[in-house]
């Protein structure tokens, strides 16, 4: 399991309920990006571990569960949810229908490969190309 996956799981278990409690479930559901939250936590964590010695974090080991929850609520009030707004998903555009060109008939790759295995001398594409050239030559000669 990667660090990002681990952080996202912990985020869902710990931060989501606290943020919902402090800011309301509607705001969290409406558009807080888990990706941006986890990215922020990871980058901040690295800097905090460099700047703040391990001794400073030892007090967390001695907190009771209610005291730890209260501390998390205090920290959650400082979170600016606008910084972690998720991007709205764009509507997927329908694929435009392909235009069929009568002068350039479609030949599938599978058909070309099958023809090549059957007859290595003349493939269907070569036959269609020669037929087109012959008809164009005949048309040019008639005019």
Question: What values do phi and psi take at 32, rounded to 5?
Answer: -95, 125
The token duo for 123 is 């493939």
Give the Å distances, CA to CA, from 23 to 26, 68, 80, 92: 8, 18, 10, 32
Per-residue confidence in pLDDT tens, the chain, 143 aa: 544 455 456 666 777 788 888 888 888 777 888 888 888 888 888 888 888 888 888 888 888 888 888 888 898 888 888 888 887 778 888 888 877 777 777 778 887 788 777 765 655 666 666 666 667 666 776 76
| CA–CA–CA angle 23, 69, 56 (5° rounding) | 115
79-89: per-residue pLDDT in tens? 888 888 887 77
User: CA-to-CA distance for 112 and 43, rounded, in angstroms?
Assistant: 54
Question: What values do phi and psi take at 116, rounded to 5?
Answer: -65, -35
The token duo for 113 is 């490969």
Instruction: Note the pTM of the prediction, 2 decimals.
Output: 0.51
- Dihedral sign from CA coordinates of 57, 62, 66, 70: negative
User: CA-to-CA distance for 51 and 116, rounded, in angstroms?
Assistant: 68
Residue recorded with tokens 């005291």: 67
Question: In terms of Cα–Cα distance, which of 89, 81, 82, 86 is closest to 35?
Answer: 86
Do 105 and 128 contact (CB within 8 A), yes or no?
yes
User: CA-to-CA distance for 19 and 99, rounded, in angstroms?
Assistant: 52
């Amino acid at each position: 399991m990667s660090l990002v996956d681990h952080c996202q799981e912990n985020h869902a278990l710990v931060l989501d309920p606290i943020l919902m409690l402090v800011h309301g479930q509607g705001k969290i559901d409406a558009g807080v990006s888990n990706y941006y939250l986890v990215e922020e936590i990871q980058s901040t964590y690295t800097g905090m571990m460099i700047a703040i010695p391990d001794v400073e974090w030892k007090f967390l080991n001695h907190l009771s569960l209610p005291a730890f929850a209260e501390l998390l609520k205090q920290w959650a009030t400082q979170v600016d949810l606008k910084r972690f707004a998720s991007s709205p998903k764009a509507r997927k555009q329908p694929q435009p229908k392909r235009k069929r060109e009568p002068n350039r008939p479609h030949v599938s790759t599978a058909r070309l490969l099958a023809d090549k295995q059957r007859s290595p001398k003349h493939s269907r594409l070569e036959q269609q190309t020669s037929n087109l050239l012959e008809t164009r030559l005949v048309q040019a000669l008639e005019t």
